[in-house]
Chains A and B, each alone.
Chain A
Amino acid sequence: MVYWNIFWAFFVTNILGYGGGPATIPLIQKEVVTRGWLTHQEFNEALAMGNSLPGPIATKMAGYIGFHEGGILGSILAVFATVAPSLILMLTLMGILYKYRHSIQVKRMTLYVKPTIAVLLGVMAYNSFHDSYSQIGIGQFLFLGVISYILMEKVKLHPAFIVMGALLYGGLNL
């Protein structure tokens, strides 16, 4: 049953996630936290780790969460549910899709869901800020938030270094 749940959770999130892996993150969070597989905090840790490692994000999250819930088989199932359905569609429907690759409807599909994804991501960002503020207080929270924003967006430092720096700071000071 747990294996079916793992498959279903990742199948649904990826069938709904238009706009590549990052668009599926809030949907994955909703499934995973609602089912009680991970807490908000644990999901955030996984996401931080995922963002500091290279490569696609959706499969990293699926691989880890699947492993957390159902071991190696769980991990394989979660990744399979993430990757296979849309790839199978792509390989089998190539001819039809080729005809519609520049159609307005198709462009609208990815465009219309974007504001909704932005809301979902924005709510996740807000929740992280709120959690952090109550965990470490306003001073530390602002310090870490502002520094990491500057390093990420202005200095364009690789996120792996920012996450490592935060881990070091937290290990020593918090």
Chain B
Amino acid sequence: MKQLNIFIAFFRSSMLGYGGGPSTIPLVHKEVVERFKWMNDEEFGDVLAIGNTLPGPINTKMAGYIGFKVGGKIGMINAIVATILPTIILMVVLLTTLVTFKDLKWVQGMTKAIVPVVGVMLGVLTWQFIEASVKGLKWPFTIGHILVGIVLMQYFHIHPGFIIGGLLLFAVVKPTKSVEGKKSKGLSA
């Protein structure tokens, strides 16, 4: 029964949420805290904060940890499978079908019409990241940071991995109270 509940909780929150993992978190909260009462608000908040200290998708970290806490190793695998497997299967089936018929004229029309829609989705996502940066870093800093990023990645073709690695390192070693440290940021990127 417990394993079934774990499956239901994570299947439902994943199938009802769109826009990637982070936007599904409130639905996970609803299942875990309100419906099944596996955790209270504070515990859930702590797990979320801890999940955010690590890289990678947030949803599977939450599912894995909560599943483990509630139902051991089986619970962990159960929660992750419920979160990701149904949509992966749908994805593979739908795209493989599309690719099979890609030489048909009307399928080509379909794939052409998708490109501007993807552009808009990415544009919206870009704006969300800019807004989130401005909230923490303010406008001048965000813009400066973005310009340096464009120059380094688009003109000098530096792999984003090095830039992100540098920024992460800087976030850790920068003295907590210093304002001076901010100036060296563009350089460290």
Residues in chain A within 8 A of chain B (CB atoms): 12, 14-27, 30, 41-42, 44-60, 63-64, 67, 75, 79, 82-83, 85-87, 89-91, 94, 97-98, 100-102, 104-126, 128-129, 131-132, 135-136, 141, 144-145, 148-149, 152-153, 158-160, 162-163, 166-174
Contact = CB atoms under 8 A, between A and B. Distances in A.
A116 B160 contact: yes
Interface of B: 14-22, 24, 46, 49-61, 64-65, 68, 80, 83-84, 86-88, 90-92, 94-96, 98-99, 106-126, 129-130, 132-133, 136-137, 142, 145-146, 149-150, 153-154, 159-161, 163-165, 167-168, 170-172, 174, 176, 185, 189
Would you call the interface of chain B mostly helix, strand, loop, or mixed?
helix
Contacts of A55: 14-15, 17-18, 21, 24, 59, 83-84, 86-87
Nearest to A18: B55
Contacts of A83: 56-57, 60, 64, 80, 84
20 contacts: A16-B164, A16-B165, A17-B56, A21-B58, A51-B118, A54-B17, A54-B24, A58-B20, A59-B84, A59-B87, A64-B88, A105-B174, A105-B176, A111-B132, A115-B129, A115-B130, A122-B122, A122-B126, A163-B117, A170-B109
A38 to B, nearest CB: 10
B142 A14 contact: no
Contacts of B112: 132, 135-136, 170, 174
A154 to B, nearest CB: 12
